Structure 1
């Protein structure tokens, strides 16, 4: 659709009306503000949800890895030592793989639910047995560790706070594994010094994770709990590396990060889709204000339109004028909304802190939302899609009033002047 200069000029006059038509200007302004707020809100909410998903997955993968090899399948040997030798041999081969370029890190670990206790309190926790190389080399953990892992225990910062312990204090670990004694089966217990604390950036991990040396975990847990964890350079390589490993070692069992966190990932995706739908409806409702403003404009300018028709203006020209009038409001509102949304997103943590300071309430509770800070991630393709969606709604809103104005009969309108 091509607009003539006089059509554009007249459309601009209708958008920025004179003081005599101040009421129409106010309606146009409200339409513009409504679209701007709708677009800005959608951009901010989607950016926060994208940032939340990305940050949460990064933190999870920084701790748990992309792939976890948990056990060997169906070994029928009754000799436990032979089973252990075969298991260690195959795990070693996997750990030594260097020709898969996507692998960034791999390392052994053991893991068990335990009770950790101090002189002041006790709490349930996942205790992971690892060696110092694991902590110093693994992405997501190495940046938070500034001490060589000795024969002690490292706790999440929140767990250490709950237990009321600091570096150098004794921490008792009570394992679900048992020792056979003359008075019955008793849980294995060991006392270690707290050598460091770690901040994972996820509240649940900070409040429920601990690390002990691998050799000590063998005494505390069952020996057959030995596993290997693999971290990849890209999350997109997970399926490919998993297929390669299963092809080379068909009798191993591998769990990827999506299987470990399936319910969480699906919940985030569903919430994203629902929020996008709801906020898109807000933009749609805001663009409907354009219909109201154009209908009022048609009533107000019906005589002028009739005169234009008698001067030779075609129905197509009249339609063009009113479509362009509504489109200008949509373009201005969408542009303003995109700018506001991007600025707000880039400063969202500062704005959150300011609102919390003014209101006295915590807006982003780490206990509820897992993460310790409010994340936001701008995806430009998504922003342009939101802008295009707003412009599409704005254009659709102009069609009905534009067609109705073209149906005005100049003779009848001027006859009753």
Structure 2
């Protein structure tokens, strides 16, 4: 039976006449096997790393952000329109802006993001990003990033003061008034400060 030239050549070098197995052939085969194995391992690791990186980036925020230079006053109607789009799984409104955060005489100016926890959880699984404490935003609580908490030296349960730059001068006036108030005036000053810092609307 006449063998194809490529198969004949492979068998010729794989099993020479003088010895059972050529050392050079063995080294060549092992080298190819090792090279292919390393290549497969590298590709597998890089593919897994790329998939993990993509997943972390996607999980951290929504796939699409609808923003405006001003406040979206008609966000409820806009939300309904977006939810009506096919293949839109969930939406979550938010408001974001710069503030001044104070704790233990340390002041920083990060961005604050106000969310609806129930709606936000449908878009981004925030719970798995919480390192310490719990994701409880039902009262006067907040969640800080790890780096911001480190810079402010904040621990779970500590109190921080948040000032909005839009009404910062009013807030400072209310604080000054509160420092000099006593009795009923102090209670009134606290209520006025609360209305400025935590408006009902």
TM-score bracket for the superposition, by shorter chain length: 0.5 to 0.7
Say which of 145, 148, 155 aligns to 1:166: 155
CA RMSD of superposed structures (Å): 4.2
Alignment of 1:116-135 (within 5 A): 116-119=101-104, 125-135=110-120
Q: Which SS does the other structure have where 2:43 is aligned?
A: helix
Query: TM-score normalised to the size of structure 2?
Result: 0.60
Q: Summarize deviations over 1:130-153 as a string: whole Å, max 9, x none.
A: 122234333332555654422211
Q: Is the 1:120–1:164 Cα contact (8 Å) retained in structure 2?
A: no
Separation of aligned partners in 1, 2:137 and 2:148: 18
Q: Match of 1:108?
A: 93
Q: Which has a greater percent of strand?
A: 1
> 2:68 pairs with 67, 71, 77, which one?
71
Q: Output the CA distance in 2 between the equivalents of 1:42 and 1:14.
A: 25
CA contact (8 A) 2:61 2:124 kept: no
Q: 1:88 to 1:178 in 2, by over 3 A?
A: closer
CA deviations over 1:59-81 (Å, ceiling 9, x no partner): 22223211111117xxxxxxxxx
Larger RCO (alpha carbons 8 Å, 6+ apart): 1
What does residue 10 of structure 2 align with?
Answer: 11
Aligned length: 172
Long gaps (5+) in structure 2: 176-193
Report what 2:73 is aligned to.
88
User: If the length of structure 1 is used for normalisation, what is the TM-score?
Assistant: 0.33
Q: Distance in 1 between matches of 2:25 and 2:101?
A: 64
Structure (1/2) with the larger helix percentage? 1
Instruction: Mark the runs of 5 or more structure 1 residues left unpaired by the alignment.
Output: 73-82, 190-215, 224-417
